[in-house]
């Protein structure tokens, strides 16, 4: 018997520490993918490990109708660190569930059905979130999907304005498109999105599943543009790899009293991990470290003479567009240089390392990139 969804790589991982993973044969790998950004404070951070151990010993699970300290603390912590006005927190198990909840909450609060999403966008793999995802390769096998989704070009404020009308429940945007190839939105575009949704009475939803928790150099990527959404979704690194997502909403969304639920909403163990993770991110000012090391890394890559078309991103969310296939490059980095990274399409190498890395790790990566591309 074996799994059938994931194609397994020829590297069996045994343990992790900081920015490194260790294979069963003892080989050390520099982890510049962090399993899609889920370990912002590094692998097995002692503060997170201690929090999880302590919670497991006291209580592993009780459903969300019963208040428990770890969950209540996370509600308060997320409301405190979220953009202003987002004081209402729904906890779930993943990013796609967080976006699914956001879709439902927006339709419930507005009484409308239309959702505007973007080309190249990715919002998850459950049916509602998948319907807002652009690429056919993710969707074709599962049609028919949810109706009422209209796609517009990412970054085109006037096309967005034309699409948003009195039938629109929400606009879903990633401040930086991740799966779509690491494409940052400029502040003018996000401000225009805020204007047109307010004028139409629609919700502005920022999908910060990948960009949040300090990755782009601020705690939330939308802080750079000073645009405050009605709903923000987060997951990935929020609990250092344990399954947790959150949908954080303005009062007018929450006050509409959506009928929604989940058996595993805000389990105490994952909440304990999230509380510790957020503490480390904030107390150690990892967003600033991500900004500084990310700038150093991007500049170092740009200074090479390698066959690279573009380097783009913010903080430690970086895309390197190359002239050869990204999957072949990823293989060579892993097998020849013991460096792990990710693709973002056929020609983009995606870097999402732990936010704890330093310039020495950046230098190690650049040396490895030169070794396989030079």
Which residues are documented as binding site for substrate?
125, 262
Give the CA distances from residue 84 to residues 110, 223, 227, in Å, rounded to whole numbers and listed in that order: 21, 10, 10
Tell me how crowded residue 362 is: count the other CB atoms within 10 A of its CB.
23
Give the CA distances from residue 131 to residues 93, 140, 143, in Å, rounded to whole numbers and listed in that order: 19, 10, 9
- Whole-angstrom Cα distance, residue 16 to residue 149? 41
Residue 40 backbone phi and psi in degrees, to 5: -65, -30
Exposure of 207 by Cβ count < 10 A (0-12 exposed, 13-18 middle, 19+ buried)?
buried
Half-sphere CA count of 115, side-chain side, radius 13 A: 26
SS3 of residue 23 by DSSP = strand
User: Cβ distance 102 to 172 under 8 Å?
Assistant: yes
Which residue ranges make up the annotated binding site?
A: 95-96, 122, 125, 207-210, 262-263
Residue 202 tokens read as: 């629609």
Which residue ranges make up the annotated binding site for pyridoxal 5'-phosphate?
A: 95-96, 122, 207-210, 263
- Whole-angstrom Cα distance, residue 141 to residue 136? 9
User: Cβ distance 228 to 28 under 8 Å?
Assistant: no
Please report where in the chains the tokens 């250092």 appear, as a residue.
240
User: Cβ distance 323 to 307 under 8 Å?
Assistant: yes
Angle value at C-alpha 219, between 73 and 96, nearest 5 degrees: 75
Closest CA to 38 of 172, 174, 212: 212
Residue 164 backbone phi and psi in degrees, to 5: -85, 125
Q: What is the DSSP string of 317-359?
A: EEEEEESS-HHHHHHHHHHHH-EE-EESSSSEEEE---TT--H
């Amino acid at each position: 018997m074996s799994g059938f969804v994931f194609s397994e790589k020829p590297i069996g991982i045994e343990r992790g520490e900081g920015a490194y993973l260790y294979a069963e044969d003892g080989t050390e790998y520099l982890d510049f993918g962090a399993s899609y950004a889920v370990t912002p404070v590094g692998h097995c951070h002692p503060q997170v490990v201690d929090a999880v151990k302590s919670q497991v010993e006291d209580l592993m699970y009780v459903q969300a109708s019963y208040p428990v300290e770890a969950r209540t603390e996370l509600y308060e912590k997320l409301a405190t660190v979220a953009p202003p006005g987002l004081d209402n927190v729904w906890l779930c198990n993943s990013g796609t569930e967080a976006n699914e909840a956001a879709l439902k909450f927006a339709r419930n609060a507005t009484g409308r059905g239309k959702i505007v999403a973007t080309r190249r966008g990715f919002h998850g793999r459950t049916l509602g979130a998948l319907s807002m995802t652009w690429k056919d390769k993710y969707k074709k096998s599962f049609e028919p999907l949810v109706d009422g989704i209209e796609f517009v070009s990412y970054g085109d404020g006037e096309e967005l304005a034309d699409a948003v009308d009195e039938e629109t429940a929400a606009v879903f945007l990633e401040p930086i498109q991740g799966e779509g190839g690491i494409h940052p939105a400029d502040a003018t575009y996000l401000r225009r999105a805020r204007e047109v949704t307010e004028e139409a009475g629609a919700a502005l939803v920022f999908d910060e599943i990948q960009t949040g928790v300090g990755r782009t150099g601020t705690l939330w990527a939308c802080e750079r543009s000073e645009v405050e959404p009605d709903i923000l979704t987060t997951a990935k690194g929020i609990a250092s790899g344990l399954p947790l997502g959150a949908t954080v909403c303005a009062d007018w969304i929450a006050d509409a009293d959506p009928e929604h639920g989940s058996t595993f909403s805000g389990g105490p163990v994952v909440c304990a991990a999230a509380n510790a993770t957020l503490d480390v991110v904030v107390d150690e000012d990892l967003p600033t470290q991500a900004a500084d090391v990310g700038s150093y890394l991007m500049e170092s890559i740009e200074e090479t003479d390698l066959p690279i078309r573009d380097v783009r991103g913010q903080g430690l969310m970086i895309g390197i567009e190359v002239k050869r296939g990204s999957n072949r490059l990823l293989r060579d980095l892993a097998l020849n240089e013991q460096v792990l990274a990710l693709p973002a399409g056929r020609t983009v190498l995606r870097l999402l390392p732990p936010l704890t890395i330093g310039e020495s790790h950046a230098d190690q990566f650049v040396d490895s990139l030169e070794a396989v591309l030079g």
